[in-house]
Amino acid sequence: MTLKLGIIGTNWITKMFIEAAIATDQYELVAIYSRTEEKGQEFATNFAGDQAVWTDLDAFLQSGIDVVYIASPNSLHFEQAASAIKSGVNVIVEKSAFDNPEQYEKIHSLLQENPSVKLFEAARHIYQDNFKVIEEKIKQMDHISGATFVYEKYSSRFDDYLAGKNPNVLSREFSAGALADLGVYPLYAAIKLFGLPENQYYFATLLDNGADGRGTAILRYPNFDVTLIFGKSTNSYELSEVHGRRDTIVIDNIAELGEVKYDDGQGNLTVISQPAPKNPMVQEAMFFANGLQDNLTTNEYEEAAILSQKVNLVLTKLRQSAGIKFPSDQEY
Ligand SMILES: NC(=O)c1ccc[n+]([C@@H]2O[C@H](COP(=O)([O-])OP(=O)(O)OC[C@H]3O[C@@H](n4cnc5c(N)ncnc54)[C@H](OP(=O)(O)O)[C@@H]3O)[C@@H](O)[C@H]2O)c1
């Protein structure tokens, strides 16, 4: 049975997710939500089939969809996901899923009240085969001395910021900024690979509007540190690395995972990755479909949910350590 998919958000990332979802043969796009009929209809022309376009969120959620993919600005995720859960619709929500642990607790309670509904955070890289390659290699290493994960990509929206505009993705009003947008990739990787840190600090370079344009976060584990370097106001071509004692895992990019190598410290450097998929969202789309069709073990689903909640907790603590507040922080 294919899953009836509805989507919120009509930017390029939604198009990419729909293409990935269709490529799995597990989903059928049936409904598009947009704030305007024109934009919704224009977005629909990207796809074959006959999708209904909705501008009323409740009507969209009650139109018979099995699952909604939410790719709106971060600050809208909470209300939209809560409405979906109350309507009995499963949720795939883009990273960063929710603003703070208080929002997460409310979502958790709603899921308990609606036990047939499942929720996934779309952190695409951790579902990729090359991420699993890194996990397996770490298990084989005798010792971990630390890691550095880098993801810095100049955003075209930074041009808008420099032109005096306040683009969503660089605005606290929309629960965005470098950490919530790109920093979440290295953070997800660190928590998936090493668990919750004992302590965490974020040294942010703030923009005039109080959001972070780039920064460095340090996660302190009992025996090592993990450094995360990320930003939207610069490009970086530095590698990401996991350090053993002499040996090192060398990753071209912790979010894109194009190539992973293992250097044994004794003169042997081996490529251990597979060619990266053309569409980096196919593997997550397949994982979510398996979850929604009850093909995952309870453990696999719960592990993904717990990881998402841990990332949310550390994201919030990092943000607090840099003095960055989102509007929803004041609501609790
Ligand atoms: N996984 C990935 O690789 C990846 C990549 C990029 C982004 N993302 C995530 O995807 C989400 C969306 O990011 P984005 O950069 O696409 O955001 P965006 O362009 O700011 O907004 C996405 C969509 O939300 C709607 N929207 C925009 N501004 C709004 C507002 N003020 N009020 C209500 N709706 C509004 C628009 O759809 P309508 O005009 O049709 O309503 C728009 O197409 C974020 O959570 C981001 O972190 C993930």
Residue 64's pLDDT band, with cuts at 50, 70 and 90, is: very high
- Find the 260 Cα to ligand 1 centroid distance in Å: 30
Angle at 268 between CA 265 and CA 270, to 5 degrees: 115
Mean pLDDT, the chain, rounded, equals: 97
Q: 132-144 pLDDT, tens per residue? A: 999 999 999 999 9
Q: Is the CB of 14 within 6 Å of ligand 1?
A: no
User: Does the pLDDT value for residue 332 go beyond 70?
Assistant: no
User: Does the pLDDT value for residue 47 go beyond 70?
Assistant: yes
Atom of ligand 1 nearest to the CA of 174: 31
Nearest residue (by CA) to ligand 1, atom 6, is 13
- Lowest-confidence segment of 43-52, 197-206, 291-300, 307-316 by average pLDDT: 291-300
The 3-state secondary structure of 73-120, one letter per residue = CHHHHHHHHHHHHHCCCEEEEECCCCCCHHHHHHHHHHHHHCCCCCEE
- Find the 121 Cα to ligand 1 centroid distance in Å: 15
Most ligand 1 atoms within 8 A of CB, residue of 72, 75, 80 to mutate: 72
Q: In Å, what is the CA distance from 70 to each residue of 30, 34, 151, 310? A: 15, 11, 23, 20
CB-based contact 70:94 (threshold 8 Å): yes
User: Does the pLDDT value for residue 157 go beyond 90?
Assistant: yes
In order of their start, the domains of the chain are 3-122 (3.40.50.720), 126-280 (3.30.360.10)
Q: Radius of gyration (Cα) for the chain, nearest Å? A: 20
pLDDT of residue 330: 73
How far is 98 from 76, CA to CA, in rounded Å?
Answer: 9
- Find the 71 Cα to ligand 1 centroid distance in Å: 5
Residue 153's pLDDT band, with cuts at 50, 70 and 90, is: very high
Q: Is the CB of 325 within 6 Å of ligand 1?
A: no
- Find the 16 Cα to ligand 1 centroid distance in Å: 13
Q: Is the CB of 10 within 6 Å of ligand 1?
A: yes
Residue 331's pLDDT band, with cuts at 50, 70 and 90, is: low
CB-based contact 10:68 (threshold 8 Å): no
pLDDT of residue 75: 98
CB-based contact 226:149 (threshold 8 Å): yes
Neighbouring C-beta atoms of residue 282, cutoff 10 Å: 21
Burial 31-66 (b: 16+ CB within 10 A, else e): bbbbeeeeebeebbeeeeeebbbbeebeebbebebb
Q: Is the CB of 76 within 6 Å of ligand 1?
A: yes
Sequence-ordered list of residues with C-beta below 8 angstroms from that of 285, at least 6 positions apart, any chain: 17, 20, 21, 23, 24, 26, 27
Q: 3-17 pLDDT, tens per residue? A: 999 999 999 999 999
Strands (DSSP E) found in 116-182? 119-122, 146-152
H-run or E-run covering 249: strand 248-251
* Amino acid, single-letter form, for residue 173: E
pLDDT of residue 59: 98
Q: Is the CB of 72 within 6 Å of ligand 1?
A: yes
User: Does the pLDDT value for residue 269 go beyond 60?
Assistant: yes
pLDDT of residue 296: 87
Q: 210-230 pLDDT, tens per residue? A: 999 999 999 999 999 999 999
Nearest residue (by CA) to ligand 1, atom 30, is 73
Q: 76-128 pLDDT, tens per residue? A: 999 999 999 999 999 999 999 999 999 999 999 999 999 999 999 999 999 99
- Find the 27 Cα to ligand 1 centroid distance in Å: 21
- Find the 76 Cα to ligand 1 centroid distance in Å: 9
**Rounded average pLDDT over 188-207:** 98
How far is 273 from 271, CA to CA, in rounded Å?
Answer: 6
Residue 297's pLDDT band, with cuts at 50, 70 and 90, is: confident
Structure tokens at 119: 């929720």
Q: 245-257 pLDDT, tens per residue? A: 999 999 999 999 9
Neighbouring C-beta atoms of residue 95, cutoff 10 Å: 23
- Find the 41 Cα to ligand 1 centroid distance in Å: 17
Q: 20-38 pLDDT, tens per residue? A: 999 999 999 999 999 999 9
How far is 161 from 82, CA to CA, in rounded Å?
Answer: 31
Atom of ligand 1 nearest to the CA of 74: 45
